[in-house]
Structure 1
């Protein structure tokens, strides 16, 4: 397939429009508020009171273990990311060998969408089943991204990766914001009892608009034909790619820095609503409306931030731009530790939106640019995905652990600042170019692969 086909590129971008509604409505905006409210109501009913005591945590009974609702939420998400990080390398090796990454993309898209729909039946009295839906929806979303991201280096030349990645994230921000407004209109102007219908809309939106992507993305670009033994061959392929990856000094160092600073980014994205719900003084209203306003601010400025950072990177380079963006994240997290009022939170949300769109789009395109010339893009992006998911597991674990040990959710912010700091230091030491030794090793590896291909191995 010839790179640069605009119809294919637009189809690829459209998956960001399709799947980002999960990230906003389920992960960030409506479900966390819904989850906090229904678990609190169930807890108060259980203890026989009408309101919480000062500094009292909402407790839930999960398989006989009593946990705060926020700790359970963070740990279930962490478990889903851990399983994704185990599955994605194996599945990516199989996808590269068989040329079936489009099929995997479709499978995980439908898994995530249908699991989102199942949240309509979320019941705090049977919280184990509800958390299973969250677990599977998270798996579907994040695993689909492995195969989706792997298309980027195959559909466009590296010089266009920053712009295309930014367009994808911007489409995702705008698309998810449209559905969020629809859901909020139903909740605020019809009946709050219809909140659960938002989860059905997410699944239908995700599956429906993904059809544009599925129709336009090519299947089996490199004409792979493996009819048997594909699991063994997939593992072998992954091992070969990993050996090649070990020779890339620049890619290794970048991925290590990404592991740490992205741990901070994803933890903020996943737990910001929980933090704001508990730690900001919203008054008698409870803050639900204020949280939605903050989330809309993040979406609008996130779209602009993606384009802004893409432009800045064209002037000063990807790595320098990322360094300044990570420094911005550290400053915002430091401020977050001290804020108490809704107005302060709105300004914080605006700052987070600006740097969030930029860091997401630029991280993906930078990794894509640093890849060697290869047909095994899915396996390479599985390393990116594993780094991302293990980082999220670590971030959510420490976020929950800090609250569990100290009883203070604000203490969790300190662990996030630490991740950004380590990522920043490592990012500074990423080489601007691949080492001579690395380039030679990659050339030899590619030549060896070409000879095997010619022999039909």
Structure 2
């Protein structure tokens, strides 16, 4: 029996999941855990005979997590597309991520570094793996005319919920006595990790209770669904030869996305290690960054309307290059606040512009009056490419950091990713509205 579409309770439940899991993305991956991790482990140490710095080790944790995620994504997408097992897998990844988050409470120093490392990896895989199934619920619970509004509601709830919890964590860290916690030590920060895990698991349980139950499809095995995901990606790869503008854009996107995502992940640990930011100061920085990012997305859209997507992307990339250059020379906290504001300005803008530009160069959903069935596959390809870019960017950052012992030099090198993106983007030409150029339709 199919679930009724556009049921208000179900739609609210779906959006609530964004409220639940966004706390992990903001508090654990960006605001509080990275600087805490840097503080708790030695600045330099050896593992399996190899030398690491605390910041290079953290970068490698992200690299490994996203390498696993990139390998799993086609498999998970195949399961999500085939249907029948969305809710079970969403629950499994949520429990995995929440458990990883809760385990961070027991990470107290070098002797428990393995708990902090493994907990962060498991949490990140649970978070990213669950998103595949969360997104796949959209056409199951709503009609197409509700997609944009419902997606926006989920984004808004995720932003509001994560900021609310981050503010609570800020008060907990700065005024631990209000919560009956000792004012010295790390207990207040570790309690913040617990609040994220409880928040994530608790609100996700409410969301899952409101989503439609699985209806397993007979005769569809796990291997068949996994093969379907890989086959969809291979099909898009072959089709790219017929869509050269999409191919050129993806090459540029891959390069600059590696720089964007690496900076977003490692900005907090840079501020802690290089500029001695306290945890409460970093929380304020992240809140400012989140607020500015919303305005930055709208500003990028206005520039795009004025001079086009390509020009707007050039503007964004120039600012990203300046951010890398300024970060190399920054010495004071006020200077870093300005750089963080600049990151917020272009963080939301370049991600929203990239997705909208890509949507303009892939095959249209309606092609010659016939609805295409592979539009989702093109965006799955885009998503996997972004994950691989994160693997490359964070690995290079960690390698250079371990090799030179300088996070500043690593960030400076990231400017080359943005420069390469600009060079590749120069070969890209956005087709006129309503016309996707194929290799046979290009002049010459």
Query: Cα offset for 1:362?
Result: 3.9
Distance in 2 (CA, whole Å) between partners of 1:251 and 1:207 is: 39
1:1-40 equivalences under 5 Å are 12-39=14-41
Deviation per residue, 1:58-92 (Å, 9 max, x gap): 12343564421111111121111111111111221
Corresponding residue for residue 200 of structure 1: 194
Change in Cα spacing, 1:80 to 1:233, as seen in structure 2 (3 Å) is closer
1:94-243 equivalences under 5 Å are 94-123=79-108, 124-150=110-136, 161=148, 168-190=154-176, 191=183, 192-211=186-205, 213-214=207-208, 225-236=217-228, 238-240=230-232, 242-243=234-235
Normalised by the size of structure 1, how large is the TM-score? 0.79
Query: Cα offset for 1:310?
Result: 4.6
Matched residue of 1:67: which SS? strand
Corresponding residue for residue 60 of structure 1: 45
Change in Cα spacing, 1:125 to 1:240, as seen in structure 2 (3 Å) is closer
Structure 2 residue 346 is matched with structure 1 residue 352 = no
Corresponding residue for residue 451 of structure 1: none
Structure 1 gap segments, 5+ residues each = 44-57, 440-457
Deviation per residue, 1:169-197 (Å, 9 max, x gap): 45433322211111121121123522111
Distance in 2 (CA, whole Å) between partners of 1:60 and 1:338 is: 27
Deviation per residue, 1:272-295 (Å, 9 max, x gap): 112112222x5xxx5433323222
Change in Cα spacing, 1:430 to 1:217, as seen in structure 2 (3 Å) is farther
Corresponding residue for residue 423 of structure 2: 425
Corresponding residue for residue 412 of structure 2: 414
Deviation per residue, 1:387-422 (Å, 9 max, x gap): 122111111111112222222221111221111222
8 Å CA contact retained: 1:76, 1:131: yes
8 Å CA contact retained: 1:245, 1:252: no
Distance in 2 (CA, whole Å) between partners of 1:219 and 1:427 is: 44
8 Å CA contact retained: 1:266, 1:392: yes
Corresponding residue for residue 402 of structure 2: 404
Corresponding residue for residue 449 of structure 1: none
Query: Cα offset for 1:321?
Result: 3.5
Query: Cα offset for 1:160?
Result: 7.5
Structure 2 gap segments, 5+ residues each = 177-182, 366-371
Q: Which moved more, 1:407-416 or 1:340-349?
A: 407-416
Change in Cα spacing, 1:160 to 1:324, as seen in structure 2 (3 Å) is farther
1:276-295 equivalences under 5 Å are 276-280=271-275, 282=276, 287-295=278-286
Deviation per residue, 1:371-400 (Å, 9 max, x gap): 653555664443223212211111111111
Deviation per residue, 1:30-52 (Å, 9 max, x gap): 1112212222xxx4xxxxxxxxx
Q: Root-mean-square deviation (CA), in Å? A: 3.4
Corresponding residue for residue 324 of structure 1: 315
Distance in 2 (CA, whole Å) between partners of 1:10 and 1:388 is: 29
Matched residue of 2:329: which SS? coil
Change in Cα spacing, 1:253 to 1:149, as seen in structure 2 (3 Å) is farther
Distance in 1 (CA, whole Å) between partners of 2:77 and 2:151 is: 21
Distance in 1 (CA, whole Å) between partners of 2:312 and 2:12 is: 26
Distance in 2 (CA, whole Å) between partners of 1:168 and 1:358 is: 19
Corresponding residue for residue 448 of structure 1: none
Corresponding residue for residue 259 of structure 1: 254
Corresponding residue for residue 69 of structure 2: 84
Distance in 1 (CA, whole Å) between partners of 2:268 and 2:125 is: 21
Change in Cα spacing, 1:160 to 1:230, as seen in structure 2 (3 Å) is closer
Could you tell me which of 285, 288, 292 is aligned with 1:297? Answer: 288
Corresponding residue for residue 327 of structure 2: 336
Change in Cα spacing, 1:33 to 1:240, as seen in structure 2 (3 Å) is closer
Deviation per residue, 1:324-350 (Å, 9 max, x gap): 323322222222222111111111111
Change in Cα spacing, 1:140 to 1:363, as seen in structure 2 (3 Å) is farther
Q: Which moved more, 1:114-123 or 1:166-175?
A: 166-175
8 Å CA contact retained: 2:74, 2:226: no
8 Å CA contact retained: 1:18, 1:207: yes
8 Å CA contact retained: 1:97, 1:237: no
Matched residue of 1:225: which SS? coil
Query: Cα offset for 1:237?
Result: 5.3
8 Å CA contact retained: 2:84, 2:216: yes
Distance in 1 (CA, whole Å) between partners of 2:154 and 2:311 is: 22
8 Å CA contact retained: 1:122, 1:130: yes
Normalised by the size of structure 2, how large is the TM-score? 0.81
Deviation per residue, 1:398-451 (Å, 9 max, x gap): 111222222222111122111122223334405434224589xxxxxxxxxxxx
8 Å CA contact retained: 2:52, 2:402: no
Distance in 2 (CA, whole Å) between partners of 1:380 and 1:178 is: 35
Query: Cα offset for 1:243?
Result: 1.6
Distance in 1 (CA, whole Å) between partners of 2:355 and 2:207 is: 19
Structure 2 residue 377 is matched with structure 1 residue 383 = no
Residues paired across the two proteins, number: 415
